[in-house]
Each structure stands twice: as C-alpha cells, then as structure tokens.
A and B are shown apart, each in its own frame.
Chain A
C-alpha cells in the first residue's frame, strides 16, 4: 500500500482499431489508496483504456504501467493484485449465481469468505438461481460481489452500477468506502455523477480518446465560477469592480437591490463581505456542480478546462440565466 509509484500510470496512450482512433494521447494516473473517478461520454475510450491497463489489449503507442510493470507482458502476475468488473457483465447462463461467484473468485485467487457471505446478504442476491434466470441488475451484482469480496489491492470497476436500483447503489457506495478504508485503490469508470461525486478523491475526464482534465474535485472546482444571487437592503458598494467578480447585474426590485454575479472561489469571502455590509435579505450561492464540469468538458469542441474560466451561463440555473 505504501508503494511510492502510482498504481496505474498511462502516458500518451494511443490505440487504433483499423481506421478508428479510439485513444489519442490519453493520460491517466491513479495513486495508491484513492478512489479515482474516470469520466467520459459514450465512446470516449474508457473501456479501451481499462482493457489496455489490464493487458487485455495492447496499446498502439504511449506508455502504460500497472503497479510499475508492463501489463501486456505480465498480465497474469499483475492480475493477482486486482479485481475487475467489466462494463458488460456476461456470465455462464447454466451456472448459478453462487457458482459464478466462486468461479470468478478462483480467477482472482479466492474470495474472502466472510465478506462473500456479508455481501450476498447486503446486495440481496439469491445464489441458488441460475444466471439465465437473473435480471441484468442481479447479474451485475454477481460480478460486483466477486470483485468486492476479492483480496485485491486495486479494484477496476467499469460502469459497475448501470443496472442497480438506488438502494443497491447506496450499498455499493458504502462497500466501496469500506474497501478504501482497508487501503484498496479504486478506478471507477462511471456515468453517474452523483456516485463519482460521493466516492471519488480525484477524477479524470476524457473525451474522444484524450484526457481533458484531471485532479481533485476541489481543484477542478477552483477553475470554475460560483454563481451568486443576493437581495440586499442597500446597493452593495463597489462590487462591480471588485476583484474576481464578473457578469455583474444589479437592479432595484420592490425596494431591494437584486444582484447577480459570478465569482471565482478565491474572492468569494471578500464579495460576501461587501454583500453583508449592504445588509443581506436573501442570498443564494451555487457552487459549480460536477454536472457543470462534466457538461463543460464534454461539450462540442470546447478546449481543456483550464484554458479559461467558465462563464455563469454554463453553470446551471438556465432559467435564471435566460431571464
């Protein structure tokens, strides 16, 4: 766990399938002990990246290390230390859920028996049913339990909760947190932003086979702007020219000053001070949500996040912004 090198390090990965360029210079670094959110729209190259990291397919170019080694050459040895849930869970339709758990567990060098039992109960799985009689969500549970019950240093989860209901999603998040407390590193590819926001220490956002941005959620938020809507008794003094403030609009409504503006995180304190001086009636401060980061990163040909600050209209509240 205290290994100095990153668990996963990919630099400038490229992968072409015939004419299609699936990865185009992708970077990814996962450090020990963290839950790393891996985000991107459909077809961005998340599963391809994961398969290269696992040594299932070979990169066309770039450099990749798993536990500091080459995953393509030492796949089987390195796999002893990780557990994987594929994006499309496929199991043997003739076997029961319990049998599949054991078979998958065996490929990972055995499951922790106590955890296996506890997880079956927690995820409400009937292990005597045959896979062909399971729903998609239950098949997903089998693969998840097998991975979460394994004694692994690294969990690689490719959209693991796509078939789960909210209750099971909750259980999944709890278990992932527990595993992280045990010192496990997690690479979590997901579409569910709430899940990533709830679990991830750091995220990497990719689009069209390239890394758009990477960092802690706080770091990412720092590049974006907070939206402020204040109603004060007096007109706030000097806000329009205050450092960090943009898109400032103020008007008098029903005897109050109604002000809207965006502010970068570093200057929030100063501007709220000025609002306070003007005697606050109501105050709404909306931090940038991950959705906004996400949409911004995915949107069209927008450049990398740190190329420039986001403007307020991109940060949600479209109804107000349109007014």
Chain B
C-alpha cells in the first residue's frame, strides 16, 4: 500500500494541532531542563551528591515513587531520581494526548470523514498523527539531552537518559494509536491509556522493591534498566522501540480495515426513560461529572493505598537515616505524621486536578451547545451553576475523604498498629480551601473570561510544580507563597492556622461569586 495523501494529511494535522503540540513540547522541555538546572545548582559538590545518594537508597519508599536509579551517586543520577515520578507520567501522557487529539478526537468530531472523502487512504490519519507525535517526542528528547549536557552531565549518559524517556513516550503513543482504533471515543483512549500507565507504574514499583524481573514487565522499567548513569545498557532501548513499532503497525493495520466511525468496543441499548433524579439539575450534573469523579478518585486511591501500605518501610528508612529524611524535606522526628503529610499533598493535587477538569467540562457543555438547550428552559443560570458547583465540591470532598481512609487503612495494615483516622482525615480536609481556591479560579475564568479557561490548567501546573519541587529546589519564599497549598502548613506535621484556612476559603468564595456573577451577565454561548 502506498500512503496516499500522507503529505496532505501531515499538513492538515500539523496546521490544526501545532499550537497545542508546541505548548506541550515547550512546557515539557522548560520543566525538565529547568528542574535539571536547579538540581545541578543545588548539588554542586561531590559531598552533597553523595549525601543525597546515601539518603534515597536507604529505604524502599522513595524507590517505589521514583524508581531504583542505578548510578545515583552522580549528578545525572540525582536528576533521574528527582525526575522519576514526573517523567513516569508526563512523557507517556505526551504520547497519549497528542495521538488521541489527532486520531479519535478528529474522527469523533466528524472532521475525519471530510478528509477521508478526499484522496487520503483510511489508515493515513493514524500514520500522520503518529508521525507528528513522534517528531514532538524526538524534539523533546534532543532538547532534554542538550540541556543535561549543558548542566555538566556527561554527553553520552545524557543522550541515553533522554532516549530512554523518549522511547517510553513512543510506547504510549503507539499504544494510544491502537486504543484509538478499538474505543469509540477519545475519552476511552485517555482512560485506558492512563489505566495501563498506572499499572506499569505499580509493576515498576513492585519490581524495584522486590528486586525481581517484575520491573521488566513495565515500560517504565525498560527506561530505568537502560541505566544511563550506571552500566549504560543501550540495547534495552530496543525493547520499547520494538513494542512501539508493533503497536503503531497494528493500529495502522486496524485503521485500514475497519469502518469509519466504528470501534471494536461498541455500545448497546439503554433505558428509554430518564429517572426523576436524572431529570433534576443535580441529577444531570452528577451524570455529567460521575465518570471523571470516579477516574480521579481511582488515581487518588491507588496512590494513597500504595503509600499507606509502604508506611513501615518509610518509617524505618526515615528513623534510621536523617539524610533520608532530608531528601524528603522532612525532619525524621515524627515519621508517621511525615508520611501522612506527604501523601495528603499528593491527594490534594489530585483533588485540585479534578476540580479544574470538572469546571472545564462546564465550558465543554457550553461550546458543545448543550448549555444553551438547558438554559432555554425554566432553569435559571444560577441554579444550573449551583447544581454543578455542588456536585463538583462533593466530588472534591469524596476524593479527599475516601483516599484518606484508604491511606489510614494501608498504614494500619503496614505498621500493624491502629492509626488515628481522625488525624489523617483532618489533614486531608485541611487542604480543601486550597483545592477550592484553584477550583474557584477556574470558575471565575469560566464566568468572566471563558475563552481564557486554559489558564486554569496553567495555574494547576504551577501549583503542582511549586508544591512538589518547590521546597526541594529551594525556590524563593514569595514564589512558594503563590501556591495555596503552601499556606496549609503541611498537616499533620506542621500546625494549621485556622486564619490561613479562613483567608484561603474567603478567596475561593470570592472567586466563585465573581465567576457566578460574570456567568449571569455574559452571553451564552460565548464562542
């Protein structure tokens, strides 16, 4: 088969997706190179590097989160370790999202039909999407390798490390292309892609802790086993490359053979009537947000469960080694509290992510034209917004409380002693004002500047960056203070000042009210 229309298709895909692709690539490069630079500045003597290496290899908790980095006693090793958690999610996500956007989303929107009616073979859009995603991954990889080299990491090791991350992204790009053929909607591509990614993360963690072959089952493990700062196993890159090519080839094959708009996983019949619950504004809002509440909850529960069940290892590591504690940014004096505080920060970020995404889906209701239909009835704008606000806030609370319970249960199981559930719950609940503040910001954007809504995602990314990497990178205090999570006081480890919570809550409420007022005054739909 000749790739009829590949050039034209590449042009179309690039033209329609170049902005999003560039933002993704540039943001990722900036984040990775910037972080590497900060680490290089922080660990600028062999002694400091050695201390760090001693600390993180002392126990299994950090190994689960960041992976077992071979050759950690070097600047590159520290970067790889610090980056372990982020790289494990961001690079696969780069592959998944670019491919999903350029394949199933286009098909779902019906745009692909117009393209395929022209002189474009059926499998070409997938091929074009994969090509552009691969180009984006290569650019990111090269830039990262250059950045690492510039900060004093040996060039060959930089290249191998960057390549191991790049091939990781390839695997998930190929996998997403295949998912795009078998699921009917782009949501399915994300959901299944992220589920498999979470599975890969768990497998890598289990393998690293048990030091067994299990690591080799995970794409994240393949990247780790390239050992760029240890033995430099170049050949391991062949595994992800082969797998990625297999996935991609299969996707192209299926795309060429299936009907447009079809999927291997289809939908069946459903109820002919709506329940009175679904007819109510709150019932409909619940139906709209239910899937995403469950997805974010699943993420938070997996994280809390993993952290909780490793509590004993964490405590052993921290108690036995002050340097280890320092690597966590904690004192090591109250290991149980430190464990809870660390996990709750992660949970808070997940809950905040849900809030931003849920408010974003209101914007989705508007741009799709469904909001207009609803507001043409006797439902007032404020009641509509209130119903959604209530469901979203409930979702945030559910995510925080359920994963707190799971964390406490996991800890109790791991340590063999009862855990103060109230303390864990309180630590989670204390973050609610910070979570709602970011959600309120998203709502204000929705109400006042709906077209600028992507800025809410920017805010989430900034808060995440400051919360996780800020203290480690010793960012200036004013920068740390920009993130609402900073003001919570790291419960139960630190003291929570009620005044701070009230201020955060008041800001959140003000933003929410501003959003509601703006929404009431503006035209719907505002394109």
> Separation in Å of the A236 CB from the closest CB of chain B?
56
A77 interfacial by beta-carbon distance below 8 Å: yes
B373 interfacial by beta-carbon distance below 8 Å: yes
| Bound-complex Cα distance A89 to B376 (A) | 13
Closest to A78 in B: B378
Given A89-B369, A96-B270, is A109 in contact with B377 using a C-beta cutoff of 8 Å?
Answer: yes
Looking at chain B's contact residues, is the secondary structure mostly helix, strand, loop, or mixed? loop
B372 interfacial by beta-carbon distance below 8 Å: yes
Given A90-B369, A102-B274, A103-B284, is A129 in contact with B376 using a C-beta cutoff of 8 Å?
Answer: no
Q: What mask results when residues 147 to 158 of chain A are scored 1 for a CB within 8 Å of chain B, else 0?
A: 000000000100
Given A56-B372, A99-B273, is A133 in contact with B377 using a C-beta cutoff of 8 Å?
Answer: no
A side interface size, CB within 8 A: 43
A86's partner among B273, B280, B372 (CB-CB below 8 A) is: B372
The residue in A77, A96, A143 that gathers the most chain B C-beta atoms within 10 A of its C-beta is A96
CB–CB A95/B287 < 8 A: yes
> Separation in Å of the A129 CB from the closest CB of chain B?
6
Given A51-B523, A99-B270, is A91 in contact with B376 using a C-beta cutoff of 8 Å?
Answer: no
Q: What mask results when residues 171 to 213 of chain A are scored 1 for a CB within 8 Å of chain B, else 0?
A: 0000000000000000000000000000000000000000000
B378's partner among A58, A109, A130 (CB-CB below 8 A) is: A109
Given A92-B288, A103-B279, A128-B272, is A79 in contact with B369 using a C-beta cutoff of 8 Å?
Answer: no
Size bracket of the B interface:
35 or more
| Bound-complex Cα distance A316 to B130 (A) | 53
B225 interfacial by beta-carbon distance below 8 Å: no
Closest to A15 in B: B523
Contacts of B185 in A (CB 8 A): 93, 132
CB–CB A94/B287 < 8 A: yes
CB–CB A99/B271 < 8 A: yes
CB–CB B376/A54 < 8 A: yes
Contacts of A93 in B (CB 8 A): 185
CB–CB B370/A92 < 8 A: yes
A104 interfacial by beta-carbon distance below 8 Å: yes
> Separation in Å of the A102 CB from the closest CB of chain B?
3
A70 interfacial by beta-carbon distance below 8 Å: no
A234 interfacial by beta-carbon distance below 8 Å: no
B524 interfacial by beta-carbon distance below 8 Å: yes
Within 8 A of B (CB), among A120-147: 127-130, 132-133, 143
A98 interfacial by beta-carbon distance below 8 Å: yes
B278's partner among A76, A79, A102, A130 (CB-CB below 8 A) is: A102
Contacts of B380 in A (CB 8 A): 75-76
A226 interfacial by beta-carbon distance below 8 Å: no
Within 8 A of A (CB), among B351-389: 368-370, 372-381, 383
A108's partner among B271, B272, B284, B378 (CB-CB below 8 A) is: B378
A sample of 22 inter-chain contacts (CB < 8 A) reads A75-B380, A75-B381, A76-B378, A79-B376, A79-B378, A79-B379, A83-B376, A88-B369, A89-B373, A90-B369, A91-B373, A93-B185, A94-B291, A98-B271, A99-B271, A108-B377, A127-B273, A129-B270, A130-B267, A130-B270, A132-B184, A132-B185
Instruction: Write the residues of chain A forming the contact surface with B, with a CB cutoff of 8 angstroms.
Output: 51, 54, 56-58, 75-77, 79-80, 82-84, 86, 88-96, 98-109, 127-130, 132-133, 143, 156
Which 10 pairs across A and B sit closest by C-beta, in order of nearness? A107-B377, A57-B523, A102-B274, A90-B369, A106-B279, A98-B272, A76-B380, A84-B376, A96-B270, A99-B274
